[in-house]
């Protein structure tokens, strides 16, 4: 629901609606309103204030909640699925699905990934394959895991939220 206020403009009373998403200088001096999610849109915040994210081009389809790795794709700063089986450690995660070639908003580790499903509250999770998570760490004594990545990601806050940690990773 749009919020507004009454103002006298050129001798007449008019209703002015608050700005939810800013177009920049064109919206200078306007009053801002919360968006449908009950939060301020990043576009109305000063530069340097807002979600701690990075933008990178998706070099493959990225599903919502998937853990991803930054990489050089022909000279372009890109992002692909992290995977414990092929040496792709997780640098962060995406909250929304991103198509190949589209810009992805990547959230850093040490944030809450709220786009997962099937987690057990209080359970600990590690990087799996294809950007997923697993509830049991890889066995470092198993020869089948040689050259795979063991990366602890964090603890489940709910069935859909993982509080991630940036603890680094080990190549087995």
Q: Give 73: exposed, middle or buried? Use CB within 10 Å, 0-12, 13-18, 19+.
A: middle
Give how far Cα 90 sits from Cα of 21, 32, 128, 131, Å. Answer: 32, 36, 10, 8
For 91, the token pair is 């640098």
Q: Residue 84 to residues 12, 57, 66, 117, 158: CA-CA distances in angstroms?
A: 65, 21, 13, 19, 24
Any alpha helices (H) in 93-161, and if so which ranges? Answer: none
Q: What's the pLDDT at 21?
A: 83
Q: What does the chain come to in residues? A: 172
pLDDT of residue 2: 67
What span, in angstroms and rounded, lies between the C-alpha atoms of 106 and 109?
9
Question: Would the pLDDT of 77 be above 70?
Answer: yes
pLDDT digit string, tens, across residues 13-69: 998 888 888 888 888 878 888 877 788 877 777 777 767 889 999 999 999 999 999
Distance (Å, whole) CA 150 – CA 172: 7
Do the beta carbons of residue 172 and residue 86 sit within 8 Å?
no
The residues spanned by each domain of the chain are 4-44, 54-171
pLDDT of 161 above 80: yes
The reported pLDDT for the residue numbered 28 is 84
pLDDT in tens, 122-141: 999 999 999 999 999 999 99
CA distance 154 to 157: 9
What is residue 1's predicted lDDT score, i.e. its pLDDT?
Answer: 59
> What pTM was computed for the model?
0.78
Does residue 3 have a pLDDT over 80?
no
pLDDT of res. 109: 95
pLDDT of residue 52: 82
Residue with tokens 């992290």: 82
């Amino acid at each position: 629901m749009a919020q507004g206020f009454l103002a006298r403009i050129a001798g007449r009373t008019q209703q002015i609606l608050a700005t939810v998403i800013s177009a920049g200088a064109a919206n200078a001096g306007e009053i801002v309103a919360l968006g449908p999610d009950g939060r301020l849109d990043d576009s109305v915040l000063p530069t340097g204030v807002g979600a701690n994210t990075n933008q990178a081009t998706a070099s493959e389809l990225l599903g919502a909640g998937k853990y991803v790795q930054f990489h050089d794709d022909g000279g372009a700063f890109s992002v692909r699925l992290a995977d414990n089986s092929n040496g792709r450690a997780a640098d962060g995660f995406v909250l929304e699905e991103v198509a190949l070639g589209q810009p992805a908003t990547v959230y850093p580790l040490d944030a809450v990934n709220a786009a997962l499903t099937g987690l057990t509250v209080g359970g600990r999770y590690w990087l799996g394959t294809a950007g997923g998570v697993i509830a049991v760490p890889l066995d470092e004594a198993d020869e089948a895991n040689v050259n795979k990545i063991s990366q602890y990601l964090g603890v489940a806050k709910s069935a859909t939220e993982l509080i991630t940690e940036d603890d680094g990773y080990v190549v087995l």
